[in-house]
């Protein structure tokens, strides 16, 4: 039990900053396959099983916040883009999974310089992270894995 608690404490340092972390009593291979399947609706850019890293490519979507400026103009568009990073780590008796969405908004800052017309970081979508997490939990439950 002490080893498990120590492993969980250590893995907190190894997880992605700001991520949703989960732990499963299940083999690494089963968790890896489920994690990969949980992001199947996005194009996968990095798939490194040895490092335990899955990264999707950016996908663009309509923005969720108000448009540019005080008057809500659409002059520079209302676009966002997002990508997911999933880290799978082997621990003693469990496998950890960290899920993090990186989200950016086009032209969030005002002005006319090149600095103002670029992608700016915004808060991740809790809904998008929850969707991936729920898929992962469902797939692992089907395989008989237990969340800890």
Q: What are the tens digits of pLDDT across the range 5-60? A: 333 333 333 456 778 899 999 999 999 999 999 999 999 999 999 999 999 999 99
Domain that holds residue 142: 20-64+75-147
Pick from 95, 121, 126, 103: nearest CA to 20: 126
CA distance 81 to 120: 10
pLDDT of 13 reads: 37
Residue 112 has pLDDT above 70, yes or no: no
Mean pLDDT of the chain, nearest integer: 82
Count of structural domains within the chain: 1
Does residue 92 belong to any structural domain of this protein? yes
CA distance 98 to 119: 24
Does residue 69 belong to any structural domain of this protein? no
């Amino acid at each position: 039990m002490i080893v498990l608690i120590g492993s969980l404490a250590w893995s907190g340092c190894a997880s992605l900053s700001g991520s949703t972390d989960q732990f499963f009593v299940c083999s690494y291979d089963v968790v890896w396959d489920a994690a990969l399947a949980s992001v199947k609706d996005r194009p996968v850019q990095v798939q490194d099983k040895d490092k335990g890293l899955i990264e999707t490519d950016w996908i663009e979507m309509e923005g969720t916040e108000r448009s540019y400026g005080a008057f809500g103009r659409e002059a520079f568009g209302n676009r966002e883009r997002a990508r997911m990073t999933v880290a799978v780590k082997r621990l003693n008796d469990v496998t950890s999974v960290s899920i993090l969405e990186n989200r950016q908004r086009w032209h969030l800052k005002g002005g006319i310089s090149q600095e103002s017309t670029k992608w700016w970081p915004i808060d991740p979508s809790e809904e998008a992270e929850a969707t991936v997490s729920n898929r992962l939990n469902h797939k692992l439950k089907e395989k008989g894995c237990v969340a800890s």
